[in-house]
Copies of this chain bind each other. A is one copy, B any other.
Amino acid sequence: MPKITRLEKLLYRLQSQHACLNWVFGEIKDKPGIVFELGLGLGRTFHHLRTHLPEREIHVFERQVHSYPDCTPQPHELVIGDLAETLPAMAARHAGEVCLVNSDVGSFDKAHNKVMAAVVSAGIGPALAPGAFVLSDLALDIAGCAALGLPPGAQAERYYLYKRTGS
């Protein structure tokens, strides 16, 4: 068989993201906490989060909004700016309040991805409640978090799942 194609990279990432999200919705069902979504893009994942978590406070981080009209967060849900600045600021403001982060800030640019993985890894820690989950399209290295195995339907290295350890 030919090597994995660009189409398959996207397909397998989406399948894995979808499986991880649906798994984590069950995990946080009875837990308090707010949600951070890093990267809005066209807003499809925000639409999925909002549909499944209708009552949760969600903060969506993006440089510039260009989402579909029906996938666009309310103004008070948006944190506009460079993640290297907005993430540490919001993590301090919501220290220990976040039960779920979905980070989808990678692109086809490997150098950019390395920078973004470092920005997220360094910035997100203080926001996380004990037992919080971090889902990511990029491999992260967050102090105080452990990597988890993926739920059925997700493929290794297409999406990543972390949990804040300790109390």
Contacts and interface: CB of A to CB of B under 8 A. Distances in A.
Contacts of A14: 7, 10-11, 14
A44 B6 CA distance: 5
Quickly give the copy total for this chain: 2
Interface residues of A, number: 26
A70 B8 CA distance: 14
Interface string A4-29: 01111111001101100100000000
Contacts of A48: 5-8
Interface in A1-57: 2-3, 5-11, 14-15, 17-18, 21, 42-45, 47-48, 51-52
Given A7-B45, A8-B48, A9-B44, 6 more contacts: A2-B51, A6-B48, A8-B18, A11-B15, A11-B18, A14-B14
